[in-house]
């Protein structure tokens, strides 16, 4: 790590300006967006080198990177959902987003595929359904005072179970559902840009814009940061702590609903285990939020960092698939995700260390009001 | 040291059995009575043995997990750690012809090493344990899959049978694995209740900083509990391999959630500082009973997790209510 010269001295000695590399180092250490931009550039450049050298199974070009955005959409939307919940503080975390994706997807599948509802009312109803699932989490955590880890663990169990039972463990893939695949077709762009999945424009950009506006341009966003930073201070400032936290969870449900619709469209089928198969969607979403610089203790984190982190993970995963043959690729994606998470948290540690030096080891500060 | 041990001893409510345990015993008794009346195959030896044998691995890991959660930590990597142990030990049993004792020793060693990695990361990186162990969950799963190398391990001999759920895993009708789990739980219960370093775990969970200032070696204790949990995950892996047969790539998936469910149903506070291993044993038994009940009643298996979810909410909710009442008194 680069050293920084002392910034101020009490007895009026000359203040040394930190050198340029030191300042750059600090920027990368303290500004997550800058670090992620650098990592993205490094990743793409490295993949280009591997590509030119013929180490890859296929070309890692703009078209491939644009096509990889298909998995970027649900992942990024869920990471934003986690961001809202984690920001709300008191150990906020939502383990149930994957289960909410499964259950909302099944509900959407029933509406469109079995009951023959028209598309637009079904979309609205699915989003409302997701919001309701999130609201249950919010009620348990914000109103009843359950620790969010436990509440969402329990509701995650319940939702995934209901999703599996709802259609006897079978997917819904009737004709109307298969037609939904058009929602997620590739669209051609002007200016020689490669074709991009349609849901990038119809789902991702609205979701990112919504969360960004909420966090940066509304009173709710300010309250959310306030509650996450210091609950007691927020309460003294007449902020409704439970109301704010409740809304964060409900919004996470809404975003999960959006991710569910995208997932149904992508698979052209409503799968009862869409968000819970394997390690599920919740773990990657949390990983991306943390990688994007959202402090697990709440109150700190930006939309830009999370989106960049999601992009980094998706393009890294896409690169890994081209590098390794067969099932090894999926394995190495696990390795990459784990390493990224541990590395990014250990990067967070020195940034906060100066503040915490006197407070001893045992890295727990979360979960306590 | 006695200053730390005393407050609990003085609290009148803190008998050997605290609130949550009494409730749990009641609920389990009720469930068993209802099941005994509605399903005539419930109170058969084979069914009860089956429940105990399936509950054993969860209980064994739960013993360590309780200690981790009491320190206000959590370890979600146990399922992946189990997978690593299972694939290595299964390979050695099949290809190396390992005997019983060395196999168990190997499992414990690998498990403890993996746990120690968690402990070191948690204690030295000062990041919330859930994030660290999410990371190692992925890493260990990668290691396991790398060793699997795309093929499940088939034809594992029954060397570890005495720990498994089969006939040779029982003496006087009781599964060895469950007896072992209960014995370990009893040891841990005594340690956490009566030994100073065990009391320190509660102090760390209550307030790590205050504990450190009071002279508790926080780093060392944290290393200890995570290493112990890993070691017990290794032991649980032996029980799951048991009579041998097939070890699939999905080994251990979802184990962490079952264990955490058992621990919190048992009344251990996820915020740290409160909880007993006894509760965890009962919590695991409750989860096992529910799983078995769903099967016996002929309901879809997927309903099990719905019930587990509801039980978690009810158990933690009743605990919250009691806590609120304690505070308002």
What CATH number does residue A149 fall under? Answer: 1.10.3470
Q: By the 8 A CB rule, do B139 and A337 touch?
A: no
Is A89 inside a domain boundary?
A: yes
How far apart CA A159 and CA B157 sit, in angstroms, is 39
* Number of domains chain A is built from: 1
Residues with Cβ within 8 Å of residue B248, at least 6 apart in sequence: B152
Chain A touched by B302 (CB under 8 Å): yes
Q: What pTM, to 2 d.p., does this model score?
A: 0.83
- Alpha-carbon Rg for chain A, nearest whole angstrom, is 22
Nearest by CB to B126, from A290, A331, A356: name it: A356
State residue B9's pLDDT score: 44
Indicate yes or no: CB of A147 within 8 angstroms of CB of B271: yes
Indicate yes or no: CB of A157 within 8 angstroms of CB of B142: no
Residues of B in contact with A157 (CB under 8 A): 257, 261, 305-306, 308-309, 312
Is A90 inside a domain boundary?
A: yes
Domains of chain B: 19-320 (1.10.3470)
Indicate yes or no: CB of A162 within 8 angstroms of CB of B136: no
Lowest mean pLDDT, pick from A119-133, A201-215, B59-73, B118-132: B118-132
Interface test with A, best of B152, B250, B306 (most A CBs within 10 A): B306
pLDDT at A231 over 60: yes
Q: Which of residues 41-80 of B touch A (CB under 8 A)?
A: 71-74
State residue A256's pLDDT score: 95
Q: By the 8 A CB rule, do A4 and A30 touch?
A: no
- Alpha-carbon Rg for chain B, nearest whole angstrom, is 20
Instruction: Please name the helix (run of DSSP H) or strand (run of DSSP E) that holds residue A308, with its range, or none.
Output: helix A303-323
Is A235 inside a domain boundary?
A: yes
Indicate yes or no: CB of B146 within 8 angstroms of CB of A286: no
Share of chain B above pLDDT 70, in %: 94
Nearest by CB to B132, from A147, A158, A342: name it: A342
Is A23 inside a domain boundary?
A: no
pLDDT at B71 over 70: yes
Quick: pLDDT tens for B101-134: 888 999 999 999 999 999 998 888 777 788 888 8
Is A333 inside a domain boundary?
A: yes
For residue A276, give the chain B residue with the closest CA: B254
Indicate yes or no: CB of B134 within 8 angstroms of CB of A147: no
Q: What is the DSSP string of A111-174?
A: IIIIS---HHHHHHHHHHHHHHHHHHHHIIIIIS---HHHHHHHHHHHHHHHHHHHTTT--B--
Quick: pLDDT tens for B164-209: 777 777 777 788 888 899 999 999 999 988 888 888 889 888 888 8
Is A352 inside a domain boundary?
A: no
How far apart CA B26 and CA A271 sit, in angstroms, is 39
Indicate yes or no: CB of A345 within 8 angstroms of CB of B264: no
Is A238 inside a domain boundary?
A: yes
The shortest C-alpha distance from B206 to chain A (Å) reads: 10
Instruction: Please name the helix (run of DSSP H) or strand (run of DSSP E) that holds residue A30, with its range, or none.
Output: helix A20-30
Three-class SS state of B324? helix
Chain B touched by A355 (CB under 8 Å): no
Indicate yes or no: CB of B128 within 8 angstroms of CB of A156: no
- The ipTM assigned to this model is 0.78
Is A141 inside a domain boundary?
A: yes
Domain that holds residue A293: 61-345
Helices (H), chain B: 2-10, 19-38, 45-70, 78-95, 100-125, 129-148, 176-194, 196-206, 208-213, 218-241, 255-265, 277-296, 303-328
């Amino acid at each position: 790590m680069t050293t920084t010269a002392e910034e101020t001295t009490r007895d009026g000695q000359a203040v040394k300006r930190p050198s340029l590399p030191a300042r750059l180092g600090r920027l990368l250490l303290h500004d997550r967006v800058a670090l992620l931009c650098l990592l993205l550039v490094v990743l793409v450049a490295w993949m280009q080198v591997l590509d030119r050298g013929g180490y890859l199974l296929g070309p890692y070009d703009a078209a491939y990177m644009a096509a990889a955005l298909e998995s970027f959409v649900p992942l990024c939307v869920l990471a934003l959902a986690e961001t809202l919940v984690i920001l709300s503080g008191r150990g906020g975390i939502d383990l149930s987003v994957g289960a909410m994706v499964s259950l909302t997807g099944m509900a959407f599948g029933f509406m469109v595929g079995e009951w023959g509802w028209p598309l637009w009312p079904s979309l609205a109803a699915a989003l409302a359904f997701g919001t309701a699932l999130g609201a249950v989490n919010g009620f348990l955590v914000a109103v009843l005072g359950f620790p969010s880890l436990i509440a969402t663990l329990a509701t995650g169990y319940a939702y995934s179970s209901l999703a599996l039972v709802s259609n006897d463990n079978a997917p819904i893939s009737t004709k109307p559902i298969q037609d939904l695949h058009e929602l997620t077709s590739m669209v051609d762009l002007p200016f020689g840009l490669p074709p991009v999945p349609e849901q990038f424009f119809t789902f991702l950009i609205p979701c990112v814009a919504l969360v960004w506006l909420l966090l940066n341009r509304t009173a709710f966003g300010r309250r959310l940061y306030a509650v996450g930073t210091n609950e007691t201070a927020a309460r003294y400032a007449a902020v409704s702590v439970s109301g704010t936290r409740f809304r964060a969870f409900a919004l996470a449900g809404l975003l999960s609903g959006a991710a569910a619709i995208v997932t149904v469209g992508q698979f052209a089928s409503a799968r009862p285990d869409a968000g819970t198969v394997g390690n599920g969607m919740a773990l990657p979403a949390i990983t991306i939020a943390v990688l994007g610089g959202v402090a697990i203790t709440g109150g700190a984190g930006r939309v830009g960092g999370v989106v960049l982190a999601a992009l980094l993970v998706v393009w890294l995963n896409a690169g890994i698939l081209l590098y390794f043959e067969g099932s090894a690729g999926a394995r190495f994606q696990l390795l990459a995700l784990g390493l990224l998470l541990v590395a990014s948290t250990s990067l967070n540690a020195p940034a906060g260390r100066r503040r915490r030096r006197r407070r001893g080891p045992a890295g727990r500060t979360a979960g306590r009001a | 040291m006695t200053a730390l041990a005393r407050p609990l001893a003085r609290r009148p409510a803190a008998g050997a059995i605290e609130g949550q345990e009494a409730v749990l015993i009641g609920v389990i008794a009720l469930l068993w009575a209802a099941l005994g009346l509605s399903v005539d195959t419930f109170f058969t030896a084979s069914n009860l043995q089956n429940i105990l044998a399936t509950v054993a691995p969860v209980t064994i890991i739960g013993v360590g997990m309780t200690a981790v959660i009491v320190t206000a930590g959590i370890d979600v990597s146990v399922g992946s750690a189990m997978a690593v142990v299972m694939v290595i030990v299964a390979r050695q049993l099949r290809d190396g012809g390992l005997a019983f004792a060395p196999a168990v020793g190997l499992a414990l060693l690998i498990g403890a090493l993996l746990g120690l990695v968690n402990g070191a990361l948690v204690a030295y990186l000062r990041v919330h344990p859930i994030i660290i162990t999410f990371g190692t969950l992925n890493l260990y799963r990668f290691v396991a899959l790398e060793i699997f190398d795309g093929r499940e391990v088939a034809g594992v001999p029954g060397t570890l049978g005495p720990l498994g759920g089969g006939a040779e895993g029982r003496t006087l009708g009781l599964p060895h694995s469950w007896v072992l789990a209960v014995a370990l739980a009893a040891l841990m219960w005594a340690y956490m209740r009566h030994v100073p370093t065990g009391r320190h775990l509660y102090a760390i969970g209550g307030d790590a900083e205050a504990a450190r200032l009071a002279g508790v070696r926080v780093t060392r204790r944290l290393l200890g509990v995570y290493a112990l949990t890993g070691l017990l995950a290794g032991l649980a892996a032996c029980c799951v391999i048991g009579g041998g047969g097939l070890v699939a790539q999905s080994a251990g998936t979802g184990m962490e959630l079952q264990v955490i469910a058992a621990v919190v149903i048992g009344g251990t506070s996820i915020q740290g500082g409160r909880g007993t291993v006894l509760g965890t044993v009962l919590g695991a038994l409750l989860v096992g009973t529910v799983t078995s009940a769903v099967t016996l009643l002929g309901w879809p298996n997927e309903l099990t997790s719905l019930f587990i979810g509801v039980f978690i909410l009810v158990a933690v909710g009743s605990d919250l209510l009691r806590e609120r009442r304690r505070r308002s008194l």
